[in-house]
A and B are shown apart, each in its own frame.
Chain A
Amino acid sequence: MSHHIVETRHLKHVYADGTMALKDVSFRIEHGESVGIIGANGAGKSTLLLHLNGYLRATSGDIIIGDGQLTKESLTVIRRTVGMVFQDPDDQLFMPTVYDDVAFGPINQGLSPAEVEARVSEALSRVEADELRDKPPYHLSGGEKKRIAIATVLSMRPEILVLDEPTNGLDPYARRQLIALLKAFHHTRIVTSHDLDMVLELCERTIVLHEGKVMADGPTLEIFQDDALLNTCRLEKPFAMQGCPICAPCRRPFPEQTPLIEPHSSRPHDHDH
């Protein structure tokens, strides 16, 4: 049983049109960690994710996933190990019914029909969507689609779950449901998001990307208390932390601006520093 680490070393990616999306990205994520990757739009988050399952190939630098380096030959294995959930569930649910979508991965892995059936049932019950089995995807709600999209990846039994903006476009209830779901997983979780409150709740470690480089990499709470860093990277504190008397005494997120709505935290966050 390997350690299922995810490691990048001096990763650099330049697109065909010359845009340097990633300049120098290095980090190491151990098995079972829950890591948030945050940054402004255009910081390189999505590009980085696409490297993790081999869709994009780095201009220079190394990626190590699980046992070995990411190479053309190891792609099939990598894609089974790393389960990627994309931003728009409509892109991910392309089969006629939910069952077909969730079964797509296992069928491609060459499993027998009985095994496929077992995997699908398992995945659907983990996302609490057993009753949606035979439905066509376009009749599902946003929250249901998101959960099924996760199920399509879970049925392949990945070791590492990568999610790109999972709470995007969800209503509060669906968002709450999704966060609870993700908390219950014990995989290595790598999440990119603008939903900083979710990152605060879900991820004990955060990596901050800015203009293709890693600006910070450490415990989530520490990062969110570093106002200067957040400022530089076009970020701010999660809403739950804004106006907290201990973290930010009498200070607004952006000193030169006044927020439109007085932020107030309904849930106190942990102060174990």
Chain B
Amino acid sequence: MLAIDGSFLDFKQLDLLALRQTAIHRLDPRAKLLTTLCFIVCVVSFDKYEISAMLPFLIYPTALVAVGDLPAGYILRKVLIVIPFALMIGLFNPIFDRQVIMQFGAFDIWGGWVSCLSILTRAILTASAAIILVATTGFPAICEALEKLKMPQPFAVQLLFLYRYIFVLTDEGVRTARARQLRTFGRRGLGIRHFGSLAGHLLLRTWERAERIHMAMLARGFSGEVHSRRRQSHFGKQDLLFTVCWVILFILLRLYNAPQLLGSLFTGDL
């Protein structure tokens, strides 16, 4: 199967996950959005050498995956795919930062390794938060939450159009690329010239489609502004409770190194 087919189906699956009905899915999107943002800011605000204090933050993605009935393996796979870039940069840390900041028995541990590991932890935490947000909320709901948080309407409208047609266009793109691949007998990859013409055709078809969509909009009375209905979702007690509890937890975990305290209890270091 083409690599494109794979990533396209993957994309569709995440969208389908958002249609499930669990307690998490039913929460107001604004609650989930704000909680996720607070989570990310807290994680990212840690000192570069901090690792253990970040670990308790794993409770958030874990809890959401569990209660939201999300496939853990799938989420983990998606998270692992994005780690490489941050890790690539992170791996330079041990090269440039060789100051010993810890001793573990007989081993001297360079600051660089600690900060590299910290980068890895951050990457895992932030990536999983983002994916879980989409898996439990869905893109249109996130757009709606942003609109209620004062995102400008023209931007929101075109964002929803983009989302609506991503599936249609990636489908077309996949079909075109597949048709081409079936005629190359695996000998060469797609050269730039051919890509130019393939993409050019796709672009022209897309342009014509946009014209037809515009026609359809006019046929139903469009006169410049797209009005969307005000959805029923409102920010209720449950949503407030969810947001407030998690945010308080994040702040506490940020201020106090819980694993340190826990570990001290065990090692009698208090």
Which of A's residues lie within 8 Å of B, judged by CB?
50, 53, 55, 76, 79-80, 83-84, 86, 88, 90-92, 94-97, 99-100, 103-105, 107-109, 113, 116, 136-139, 152-153, 156
Interchain CB contact under 8 A, B164 and A105: no
A97, A99, A109: most-surrounded residue (chain B CB, <10 A): A97
Q: Shortest Cβ distance from B194 into chain A, in angstroms?
A: 27
Task: Name 7 interchain pairs, CB-CB below 8 A, sorted by A.
Answer: A55-B219, A79-B219, A83-B219, A97-B140, A104-B217, A104-B221, A138-B167
Q: In the bound complex, what is the Cα–Cα distance between A201 and B219 (angstroms)?
A: 27
Q: In the bound complex, what is the Cα–Cα distance between A152 and B219 (angstroms)?
A: 11
The answer to the question of B163 belonging to the interface, with a C-beta cut-off of 8 Å to chain A, is yes
Which segment, of B31-39, B122-130, B207-215, faces chain A?
A: B207-215
Q: In the bound complex, what is the Cα–Cα distance between A137 and B161 (angstroms)?
A: 12
Name the A residues within 8 Å of B223 (CB-CB).
76, 108
Which of B's residues lie within 8 Å of A, judged by CB?
15-16, 140, 160-161, 163-165, 167-168, 209, 212-213, 215-223, 227-230
Which partner residue on chain B sits nearest A99 by CB separation?
B229
Which partner residue on chain B sits nearest A155 by CB separation?
B220
Interchain CB contact under 8 A, B227 and A107: yes
Closest 3 CB pairs of A and B: A108-B221, A105-B220, A91-B212
Name the A residues within 8 Å of B212 (CB-CB).
86, 88, 91
B16, B163, B165, B227: most-surrounded residue (chain A CB, <10 A): B227
Cβ-defined partner of B220 (8 Å) among A88, A90, A113, A153: A153
Q: Shortest Cβ distance from A102 into chain B, in angstroms?
A: 10
Q: Shortest Cβ distance from A3 into chain B, in angstroms?
A: 22
Main SS of chain A's interface residues?
helix
Interchain CB contact under 8 A, A84 and B219: yes
Which partner residue on chain B sits nearest A96 by CB separation?
B140
Interchain CB contact under 8 A, A95 and B218: no
Q: In the bound complex, what is the Cα–Cα distance between A108 and B216 (angstroms)?
A: 13
Which partner residue on chain B sits nearest A120 by CB separation?
B229
Name the B residues within 8 Å of A80 (CB-CB).
221
A103-B229, A107-B229 known; A94-B213 Cβ under 8 A = yes
Q: In the bound complex, what is the Cα–Cα distance between A61 and B11 (angstroms)?
A: 51
Q: In the bound complex, what is the Cα–Cα distance between A97 and B143 (angstroms)?
A: 13
Q: In the bound complex, what is the Cα–Cα distance between A99 and B228 (angstroms)?
A: 10
Interchain CB contact under 8 A, B220 and A152: yes
Interchain CB contact under 8 A, A100 and B219: no
Cβ-defined partner of B217 (8 Å) among A83, A94, A99, A107: A94
Name the A residues within 8 Å of B140 (CB-CB).
96-97, 136
Q: Shortest Cβ distance from B53 into chain A, in angstroms?
A: 40
Interchain CB contact under 8 A, B219 and A95: no
Which partner residue on chain B sits nearest A135 by CB separation?
B19
Which partner residue on chain A sits nearest B222 by CB separation?
A108
Q: Shortest Cβ distance from A144 into chain B, in angstroms?
A: 15
Q: Shortest Cβ distance from B202 into chain A, in angstroms?
A: 15
Interchain CB contact under 8 A, B221 and A92: no
A86-B216, A100-B229, A116-B229 known; A94-B161 Cβ under 8 A = yes
Q: In the bound complex, what is the Cα–Cα distance between A138 and B209 (angstroms)?
A: 16
Q: In the bound complex, what is the Cα–Cα distance between A100 and B163 (angstroms)?
A: 15
Which partner residue on chain A sits nearest B223 by CB separation?
A108
Interchain CB contact under 8 A, A96 and B221: no
Cβ-defined partner of B163 (8 Å) among A83, A84, A96, A103: A96
Which partner residue on chain B sits nearest A105 by CB separation?
B220
Q: Shortest Cβ distance from A166 into chain B, in angstroms?
A: 15
Interchain CB contact under 8 A, A79 and B216: no
A116-B229, A156-B220, A156-B221 known; A96-B168 Cβ under 8 A = no
Q: In the bound complex, what is the Cα–Cα distance between A50 and B219 (angstroms)?
A: 10
Interchain CB contact under 8 A, B222 and A50: no
Which partner residue on chain A sits nearest B163 by CB separation?
A96
Q: In the bound complex, what is the Cα–Cα distance between A214 and B161 (angstroms)?
A: 39
Which partner residue on chain B sits nearest A89 by CB separation?
B216
Q: In the bound complex, what is the Cα–Cα distance between A124 and B165 (angstroms)?
A: 23
**Beyond the given A96-B163, A104-B222, A152-B220, could you list 20 further A-B residue pairs with CB under 8 A, ordered by the A residue number?**
A55-B215, A55-B219, A79-B218, A86-B219, A91-B209, A91-B213, A91-B215, A94-B164, A94-B165, A96-B140, A103-B229, A108-B227, A109-B221, A113-B230, A136-B15, A136-B164, A137-B164, A138-B168, A153-B219, A156-B221
